[in-house]
Amino acid sequence: MTTAHTPLPRLRRIRWYVGGLSLLLGVVVVLLGLRGVQDIVEPRKIIVLVAEIDGPDSARSTVSDNVVAMLRLSLAGVGDVEVRRLGRVLTVQDGRPAARMWGERQNARVVLWGRYYRTASTVALELEAELLAWPKMIPLSAAKDYVVSAVLAEPDHFTVQQILAEERGVFEALVEGLTRYEGADYPEAVQRLGAALNQAPGSVVSQVVLVRGNAWLLSGEADLAIADYTDALELSPADAAAYTNLGVAFAVQGKQRLAINQYDRALALGSSQPAAYINRGTAYAVGGDHQKAVEEYNRALQVDPEDATAYLDRGVSYAILADHRRALTDFNRSLRINPKQATAYLNRGLSYAALQDYRRAVADYSRALEIDPRSARAYYHRGVAYAFQDKNQEAIDDFSRAIQIDPRYADAFRDRGVTHLVVGKSDKAIEDASRAIEIDPNDARAYFNRGVAHIVQGDPQRGADDLNKVLEISHDPALRKQTQDELSRMRRE
């Protein structure tokens, strides 16, 4: 039985309720599990830019040819990677600033340069690697589905010595590991970085261990990441970056107090990077103390007034404190600095939705999807915004896309069911609400929605059972009152 002939006023009353309480998420604090929204999606192609290797004689071109050939052979199986020659020497005097400048000009993620020395029987290489990618982020949910980003510290420079005649030396293994890391192939990055560690000189071991820890954490293996960060600290006890990332790993495990302790240690070591302040702010935000979180983000911005993540995360705290105008200002600043952040568009869309500007909310969710087409959360929230504009088919389509990407997305099932109910398909509404309850048996709104659908179908007993279940499991005063009102109405009828 469907609701095709249900009187319009009745449907309008249901629509108002589910719109006001079901489609808007309650306060939830969860780890996104790295599958929700990627903070920054880098260009797919990875450019490894190789400068001509400097040296004491006219054989520079031959040495450079050999280095490029080794790298191309080593990286042949690493996805969409281009080993590109810069065509000029970068000397010691030019230094790292020149390497980074040329890398930025050519959109390279890795820049390689260096020099060689001749001995009686060999050519010794001293090679430098610069990493130019945006820092990696770990998304965490603060509340009301806003996403904050913890920042992973990572080395931006490596120096390695090896003999040119060596077969697959440490440099090739390291560059392959770093390239796979930058290409988000984290399991393979772990393997290649491990191979580099077997050959790496002591001067870079702690750096490689730190990056491997990041790869473990980005693969969802927090325990293994913690082991690597701990090893990095044993090798280099004053490494503020290792303490920072150890804190992020604890935050991923929900251990916010332990996380804050690690950030405190990083800052006590005199870290000049804003990451520890930002991450300490995210720990406070996830714990619900947004005033303290704002204070930490302010400190990060004193260190670096152009830090996009600090603006992004401070905007989230302002939004949760219901100061959406200031939140929008911070999201705008973050996107001005780095327009590639899917999370920033998602968060700004949520603030527009909170201000009932659903047209702009839809536009921002769509921009998030352009950057990260696999974002189930962006599809879900765009569906919510469509539903508030009475664009029910568009809403159903977006909820369905979210479910296709994440088959256990309980909110998407629940709110697709709501929208089915609004358009008169109570059978599908019950089916979707039931699926939401299977995934999350404590979803009181799903029970409410299924109860209403049963009532609309003419089955008041099942409807009452579901509504009584709401009263049993919900502590939300507004939801409980609405449920009691519905049960009272049923008794009167």
Q: What is the fold, at CATH topology level, of the domain defined by 46-344?
A: 1.25.40
For residue 21, pLDDT over 60 is answered with no
CA distance 251 to 137: 13
For residue 228, pLDDT over 50 is answered with yes
Confidence at residue 44, expressed as pLDDT on a 0 to 100 scale: 65
pLDDT tier for residue 249 given thresholds of 50, 70 and 90: very high
Residues near 60 by beta carbon (within 8 Å), at least 6 away in sequence: 52, 53, 54, 89, 116
For residue 74, pLDDT over 90 is answered with no
Confidence at residue 443, expressed as pLDDT on a 0 to 100 scale: 95
Confidence at residue 492, expressed as pLDDT on a 0 to 100 scale: 84
CA distance 183 to 166: 26
CA distance 350 to 324: 9
pLDDT tens for residues 83-117? 999 999 998 888 899 999 999 999 998 999 888 88
Confidence at residue 23, expressed as pLDDT on a 0 to 100 scale: 34
What integer is the mean pLDDT of 403-432? Answer: 96
For residue 32, pLDDT over 70 is answered with no
For residue 418, pLDDT over 60 is answered with yes
Q: Which one is predicted more confidently, 421 or 492?
A: 421
CATH 1.25.40.10 in the chain is located at 8-31+375-492, 46-344
> Could you tell me the CA-to-CA distances from 38 to 137, 218, 230, 370 in Å, in that order?
8, 11, 27, 12
pLDDT tier for residue 56 given thresholds of 50, 70 and 90: confident
Average pLDDT, the chain: 86
CATH 3.40.50.720 fits 8-31+375-492, yes or no: no
Radius of gyration of the chain (CA): 27
pLDDT tens for residues 469-484? 999 999 999 999 999 9
Percent share of the chain, pLDDT over 70: 88
Confidence at residue 25, expressed as pLDDT on a 0 to 100 scale: 30
pLDDT tens for residues 326-367? 999 999 999 999 998 999 999 999 999 999 999 999 999 999
CB contact at 8 A, 257 and 247: no
Candidates 385, 386, 368; CA nearest to 376 is 368
Confidence at residue 296, expressed as pLDDT on a 0 to 100 scale: 97
CA distance 137 to 405: 21
What integer is the mean pLDDT of 300-320? Answer: 96
Residues near 285 by beta carbon (within 8 Å), at least 6 away in sequence: 140, 142, 148, 293, 313, 316, 317, 320
Confidence at residue 95, expressed as pLDDT on a 0 to 100 scale: 86
